[in-house]
Chains A and B, each alone.
Chain A
Amino acid sequence: MTIEELEQIAESVRLENAKFDYEVNVCMDLACASQGAEKLRDALVKAVEASGKTVLVRRTGCMGPCSSGPLVRVDPEETLYHHVNADHADAIVASLGGDPVPTLQCDLNDHFDKQVRVVLENAGHIDPEKIDDYISCEGYKALLTALTEMTPNGVVHRITESGLRGRGGGGYPTGLKWGTVAKAGGDLKYVVCNGDEGDPGAFMDRSVMEGDPHRVIEGMAIAAYAVGASKGFIYVRAEYPVAVARLTTALREARRRGLLGSNICGTTFSFDVEIRLGAGAFVCGEETALLASIEGRRGTPRPRPPYPAVSGLWGKPTLINNVETYANIAPIVRNGGKWFANMGSERSKGTKVFALTGKITNTGLVEVPMGIKLREIIEVIGGGVPDGHTFKAVQTGGPSGGCIPAEMLDIGVSYDALLKVGSIMGSGGMIVMDDTSCMVNVAKFFIEFCMTESCGKCIPCRAGTAQMHTLLSRICDGSGTMDDLELLEDLCSTVKEASLCGLGQTAPNPVLSTLKYFRNEYIEHIAHKRCPAGVCNIKAAVEVLA
């Protein structure tokens, strides 16, 4: 495979597509598929056959606004239809060449205008099971450019220059990590992709793996070239069967095209990737636990240093990055580090994909430049809180993130700004809560999650989260005391500072942030035996004899 051959494939796809007058793209991602996108596609194919028009019906990955699904986009006009079902197929096909179907047309201009798509540039535009579709969108061009025109150091330099930081949550500078692994000695090195996305309400990585799997593989191959690795692992949770299937297909296609395997592109570089399935443990998203799991051991974290960059899989230097980080690599190599560094804020470059969920009008995936105000994401892109309720808080960063109140919505989204207000960037979950949410109950929910997902290795996380859960349950059922509150704060401090891994160290964040911004709700539960949001089932307040 050479760049010229790549161009030829892209050209033949373009010629093939040019035979069609229209392209009807059907989103087949989980949310749309669960509402009948499969039937809809079949109906569209039938309607096209019956009409005699030359139309390409294509299944694609996630288009973004999941709450409007099933979604259909008609190209070249780029007309977006929402809430489409199989009965609408005839109307849509009949409208081709004329005016769009008014009843189905959706106006999400505000939703899309503020977004910048880098990671999701192909999502909704290509068939994830066709490698040629990906190649027609400049796919694998970055890999071949790197292999034939750049030195490994040059690649590391470009990533460093881009200012990309790890998208898995930690925000460690990607270029620095690559440089460390590249400098580590030894013939055998590994590249690992962390696809063990486990935060409740987060599905960015799933969408990328399902909607554009080759992007992840290309990013890993470039990384392997840069650090001198010859073997890669994608660790995907078994709860993502579609992602596993798409990645398996993608790997097979890439091997068939000679983009993985021995002597890729006629160079001395060889690289292949294996898929490993997670067995449902959240903690396996922690890098050292993930590596232990790949090795076939119990998925528990170990103290660092040594970092995986020095001693990772089977003691060898290992580069481990998140799905979204790898998905950013190809565009950076193609367009240059400066192009990427021009987007975003001073210390957080590029874009970030967020999964908007909870009490918000447009739930789904959004990709925004770093530094954008939280308010813009929630009120403009997300369309605000529905049903006349008022916004109360947004929780970022999954179960270990903090709850950010309305007064702070004008902060720009970046690793440092979120940390400053007591939350974290995390992998990109964003859960919006309105006035019907009880913040004590929310804190209890997340602590319960961390308690059940704790691996049990270190005492602060194992016993501390369980104790915090007991105290929060007491406060929620009205039997809490002010002493409990003080004890809760002491527990938070020890669990945060003394836990072994990131899971424990960040587990108290929801409690600490709600104690900071919504302390009055805790006091209401304890002192007045009442839940302001009416969520907690407080037993009839017992009048204590004076």
Chain B
Amino acid sequence: MQMCVDPDGLAGLSWWLCYLTTNTHYSFYLSFGTILILIFLCAPVVMVLGFAGALSRRSRFLPLRTVGLIYTSMVRGVPDIVFFMFVPIAMDQAIEAIRHKVKCPEVTAPIFQGNDFVVCTAAKMPLSATDQWVHEIYGFFLALVAFAIVFGAFAANTLHGALAAVPKNQLETARAYGMSEKQVFWRIHLPQMWRYALPGLSNLWMILIKATPLLFLLGVEDAVYWAGALGASKTQIYDFPHGDWRIWYFSALLIFYLLLTSVSERFFKWLTLKVTREHNLNTDDLSSGVTA
């Protein structure tokens, strides 16, 4: 805006208008979009991984069943934050190590040298000469993979429970009608599973939302980063000097998350009601024991 060229002469409303429309503030607003993008990109991948995990846990083939068991159990024993910290850096090193082997076969020095991780310049990912935005997208992509792996394991738990919750006699009836195992699964087991999975899946959506600020830990310039950076006190050398306003920026974040979760909660309540009405069920049938 024209009037914002000289911020020193501003006061009152126009000061606020100019302050809230600086470039850094636009980055702050955009970071809320990043959160939504992360959730919506993550959700389908999570469902795919969840099904893979749940089905492999039910597999008759022992090694596959073991893999499924380990995958579903790992998030119960180990804090998810450990995976969020570990997966991106481990993936980054794995990718660079493979590229190192392929692109620079002439280098024979080991990759782990004492306290260092050394790969040749051509193996760096992304190449150090590339633009800043490529680095940012790559970082976001690594974070996305970490989220998908952890939440896929949570989804596998939920879906495994839901598949086991479908009454056995329904499946037996289907078999008695002469359906093959494939038909039983696709026509009876899977459609019947959804209503048992609904409470778990709605909870999964909530914890996915609530995990998004952890992007900050992975070095992504997300809403938490900008809230801290913009809120920190600014001296007179800045265009818009102010005191320590971090508490207000974090309040804004808190309110954003509360809105997001309460809207989601309402949506899932409506969906549950719809499903129960269609199936003529009592709402209590859906929740297994004590709901939390």
Report if A and B associate in a common complex. Answer: no
